[in-house]
């Protein structure tokens, strides 16, 4: 990579990381409080009545899904809000006229989303240790699934910001698409408990594959095969990246 491009990439990434660390009370604390409530209500209170699921305690079963849920929402919201704010304030025009390739702009913003998503994931994991202990089945699976998922939803947040015209638009997808898909993605239950028809319907939910792969990394149990998880992630990352690159190159949503 050209040294000047590397400087541009690091500058964008540093700006993004500094932005969410500067307002850590708004970006880091709320997810921790929300996940703690999930651990208390669904894990401690309801988990004692449910007992075991797929051979492990219910609290151990839901922890990977809750960690992944926090990663998804924070990686998405970080890029979406940051890029739209830059577009709304016309700061993005400085990048568009600068001799910076489109892929550097994308990687810079996505890098910020990945950083926040992984940081929140690590914090939530530490919090979960106060409620339940667990062993790690495969660190490589955890790291690969975490990185690819954070990348995918950072790209998704970028696409949302490109299409958004008002601040209200950046909340539509998380509210009406992302949240339902996450809750129906197997965070709180195993797909094997569903009727065959709904198991088939669940296979069309991409978040099912991410949570299943992440759970396999922690517990060694899964609802869908690991190779399918990485195939789905790779396909969506490639499509989202190509689409974001095309939109920025053509100035869609930026030069209107």
Q: What is the pLDDT of residue 88?
A: 86
pLDDT band at 239 (very low <50, low <70, confident <90, very high): very high
Distances in Å between the Cα of 70 and the Cα atoms of 15, 55, 177 are 22, 25, 16
| Contact call for residues 181 and 205 (beta carbons, < 8 A) | yes
pLDDT of residue 6: 87
Q: What is the mean pLDDT of residues 77-95?
A: 88
Determine contact, residues 208/180, Cβ cutoff 8 Å: no
Residue 52, classed as helix, strand or coil, is strand
Residue 181 neighbours by CB distance under 10 Å: 15
Over residues 223-230, the mean pLDDT reads: 92
Residue 56 β-bridge partners: 53
With CA atoms as reference, report the closest residue to 66 among 91, 37, 100: 37
Q: Is residue 55 classed as helix, strand or coil in its secondary structure? A: coil
What per-residue confidence (pLDDT) applies to 192?
84
- The least confident of 51-60, 161-170, 182-191, 235-244 is 51-60
Stronger pLDDT, 213 or 169, i.e. the higher one = 213
Is residue 89 pLDDT above 90, yes or no?
no
pLDDT digits (tens, 9 = 90+) for 102-157: 999 999 999 999 999 999 999 999 998 888 887 788 999 999 999 999 999 999 99
Higher pLDDT, 232 or 55: 232
Between CA 70 and CA 68 the distance in angstroms is 5
- For the chain, percent helix, then strand, then coil, each to nearest 5? 80, 0, 20
So what's the pLDDT on residue 170? 86
Tell me the whole-structure pTM to 2 decimals.
Answer: 0.93
Q: Say yes or no to pLDDT of 22 above 60.
A: yes
Helix or strand run (H / E) with residue 57: strand 56-57
Q: Is the distance from CB of 233 to CB of 149 less than 8 angstroms? A: yes
Structure confidence at residue 212 (pLDDT): 93
């Amino acid at each position: 990579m050209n040294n000047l491009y590397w400087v541009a990439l690091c500058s964008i990434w540093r700006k993004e990381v500094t932005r969410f660390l500067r307002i850590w009370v708004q970006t880091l604390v709320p997810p921790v409080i929300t996940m703690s409530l999930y651990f208390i209500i669904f894990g401690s209170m309801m988990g004692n009545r449910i007992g075991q699921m797929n051979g492990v305690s219910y609290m151990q079963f839901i922890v990977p899904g809750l960690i992944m849920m926090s990663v998804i929402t924070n990686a998405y919201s970080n890029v979406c809000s940051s890029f739209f704010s830059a577009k709304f304030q016309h700061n993005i025009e400085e990048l568009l006229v600068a001799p910076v390739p489109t892929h550097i702009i994308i990687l810079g913003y996505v890098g910020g989303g990945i950083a926040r998503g992984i940081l929140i994931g690590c914090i939530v994991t530490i919090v979960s240790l106060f409620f339940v202990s667990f062993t790690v089945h495969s660190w490589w699976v955890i790291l690969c699934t975490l990185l690819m998922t954070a990348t995918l939803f950072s790209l998704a947040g970028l696409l949302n910001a490109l299409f958004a015209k008002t601040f209200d638009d950046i909340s539509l997808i998380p509210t009406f698409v992302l949240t339902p898909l996450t809750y129906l993605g197997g965070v709180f239950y195993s797909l094997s408990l569903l009727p065959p028809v709904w198991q088939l319907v669940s296979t069309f939910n991409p978040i099912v594959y991410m949570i299943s792969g992440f759970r396999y990394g922690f517990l060694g149990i899964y609802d869908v095969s690991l190779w399918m998880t990485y195939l789905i992630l790779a396909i969506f990352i490639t499509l989202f990246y190509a689409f974001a690159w095309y939109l920025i190159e053509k100035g869609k949503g930026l030069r209107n």
